[in-house]
Structure 1
Amino acid sequence: MDMSDIERRGLVLLGCGKMGSAMLAGWLSGGLPPGSVWVRDPKPSEWLQGTGVHLNEDLPEDPAVLLVAVKPQMMDEALPGAADLGGGGTLVVSVAAGTSLARFEKSFGDGTPVVRAMPNTPAAIGRGITSIVGNAEAGSDHLDLAETLLKAVGQVVRLEGEDQMDAVTAVSGSGPAYVFHLIETLAAAGEAEGLPPELALALAKATVGGAGQLAEDSGEDPGQLRVNVTSPNGTTQAALEVLMDEESGFPALLKRAVHAAAERSRELGRG
């Protein structure tokens, strides 16, 4: 199963909000014909209406992929209309947070290959990172196809088991919000030292964005990058002595924050 199968048999996108639209835009710009895509969405955007895809039409009988991108709370309403696609011929891929493989196996029946994926919000600009894991019916060809589709919005990594998904949710799924809050608080700290608000925010945004890009692109470990910019007894060291404090700094704070998010993910998964 590969992209040629999708072109021939079709891809069904269930839900086309921000994440669905980001993925669809990536597929279309990558050469997937609009006529190979069927979208079900109750409130289609103007952009979606102009793509040329099959919008809210009858679904093909045997599509190659059904990609579920509805919000978890809409799952009970959305899935029944596509349940007859289960049974093995169609790969089901979900990007819905907190929705287990077992939930989809229950809806689509035995023999259905399912891949669960956790993307994050930078997918909207093609800079996301998505973690994937498959059920017992999902073979290497299914995972390969899911990875190909999800690379339209950034990097893809494979998990060893679904039990890792709660930690992934806490690190990369919720993680962008932590970084946005870092930008907010860094800018506020700059204001407190006398900078105009607009300047402080511009400095904070560019610093976090640039440092993140450097960490991704550099062959050096982030710890070494930190050492590289820390002169002995200099300004950076003065700040890091506060931030790296084992009790009140980043180590303890982020460990607590990520654990709280992971625990909440586990609670939501239990229903």
Structure 2
Amino acid sequence: MRVIVVGAGVIGLSCAVRLAESGYDVAVFARDLPLETTSGVAAAIWYPFLSAGDRVAGWARTSYREFGELAESEPSVQLRHGKEYLLEPTPDPVWADVLTDMQRVGSPPPGFRDGWSFTTPVVEMPLYLQYLVKRLEAAGGTLNRAALSALPNTAAIVVNCAGIGARLTAADPTVTPIRGQVFTVEQFGLTEWSMADSNSEELCYVVPRSNDIVVGGTGQPGNWDVAVDDKTAREILERAVKLVPQLRKAKVLRHRVGLRPARPSVRCESVRTGDRQVIHCYGHGGSGITLSWGCADEVLELVREG
């Protein structure tokens, strides 16, 4: 049976891989190819962020387990230890039960009153997205560039993973951008990630990868500007060097901006119109990687149920 998946970010590709490897004839159509998507910008640490809905924790747990298995054989997925510092004492998050080594930080730095450390998957998106494409193609699926203002009607099943584009493909104005700006620096031997609680628009995280380090960031709701802002980049650096002082002298490689697709709650549901089934899967905010395999499994079940 033919299935069209709209969107080639991590959600669309994960859904497409699940479907193709389960025997469906899958074609992915997207305006932006994988490395051009917001997913290609992401630091991509497993951490539920800017996503809402009562199913988020379950999807996150499923993805954590999947990435744990992938880390044994796929170089673009690595398990890394790190710390998050919090401004106020905070209860354990609802998803903490999936973590095997979560501990409270005994003495957080000045300005913070709490913190925790744990091991979590870090996914190197420039490599991982290509890995997903190879898996898709190996299973017989295809990836095609296409500028779509509406969902195609050339297949009985369409999976809408258009991210911010769901404003058009689902006529859903509740999907809004949360602007994220980051930069990468040369790897200087950093192995652990760091995050610090701050206000909702001025984020602070440092995520090491094999050959570079992602430094972020911002969480600016309603901001559609995809141009790099130099002042914002300097402010990001000033926040980050408080966690990792070595960043001050690190060579900057690239600045990037992505628009996270926010929604009051993640939409993952099937809608039938006549003889066509449309499965919507979008609105993941800053948790595309974190929810990807959990949502892909649910999409597969929705397709099977018809």
What TM-score do the two structures reach when normalised by structure 2?
0.23
Higher strand share: 2
Higher relative contact order (CA closer than 8 Å, sequence separation 6+) = 2
Report the structure, 1 or 2, having the larger helix content. Answer: 1
Highest CA radius of gyration, 1 or 2? 1
TM-score w.r.t. structure 1 length?
Answer: 0.25
